[in-house]
Amino acid sequence: MDKKQAIIAEIPKLRRFARALASDPALGDDLVQDCLERALGRLHLWQKNTSMQAWLFTILRNIFVNQLRHAARRPREDPFDEHKDQSGGSAPMQGQRLMIHDLGQALDQLPEQQREVILLVGLEDFNYKDTAEILGVPIGTVMSRLSRGRETLRRLMDDGEHGGTPTLRRVK
């Protein structure tokens, strides 16, 4: 019973993360539903004294990655990671004139591996260590993806401000 209450208490944050990750409300809630079903089915695997929140986020993120592998919706690979897959996506800025109106649109331009780090650290307030555990990568990888992602976002937003029309929203 208490485990279930712990899960219920995490649903709002799971929905926030899932929607940001999937950039779509319906897809986001589908993700949360898959995540809850899986978590309830494996509740015996959750270890007491570990964070229920981190456990649920790990499950949700893994479901998302598996779905992406099938759908290939956006570049999954971070083009600057070592051991880069040759078929990995292209860097978002190359030769494109992008009209960026807000951070949401800028986020959509990022490779998935940078986006998820930015969301876990910047939105969900996980520390680097927990983020590394959720993603199953070393802390150094978390930090380098975060650095590159934020820098790309900054340039995208700058372009939006200086190169766009006067109606573009200024990020405050």
Helix-strand-coil split of the chain, %, nearest 5:
65, 0, 35
Write the CA distances from 73 to 68, 77, 82, 110, 147, integer angstroms.
Answer: 6, 12, 22, 12, 23
Using the rule CB under 8 A, is 38 a contact of other proteins? Answer: no
> Which residue type does 69 have?
R
Using the rule CB under 8 A, is 20 a contact of other proteins? Answer: yes
Residue of 68, 91, 98, 143 interacting with other proteins (CB under 8 A) = 143
Nearest to 145 by CA among 96, 112, 98, 109: 112
Using the rule CB under 8 A, is 102 a contact of other proteins? Answer: yes
| Stretch of 61-69, 73-81, 83-91, 148-156 lying at the interface with other proteins (CB under 8 A) | 148-156
Q: Half-sphere exposure (CA, 13 Å, Cβ side) for 73?
A: 15
Measure the CA–CA gap between 148 and 115, rounded to whole angstroms.
Answer: 10
Using the rule CB under 8 A, is 37 a contact of other proteins? Answer: yes
Size of the site for other proteins (CB under 8 A): 43
Using the rule CB under 8 A, is 9 a contact of other proteins? Answer: yes
Using the rule CB under 8 A, is 5 a contact of other proteins? Answer: yes
Residue of 50, 66, 90, 127 interacting with other proteins (CB under 8 A) = 127
**Quick one: angle between helices 52-71 and 25-41, nearest 10?**
120
Question: Where along the sequence are the contacts to other proteins (CB under 8 A)?
Answer: 1-9, 11-13, 15-16, 19-20, 29, 32-33, 36-37, 40, 102-104, 118-119, 121-123, 127-128, 143-144, 146-147, 150-151, 153-154, 157, 171-172
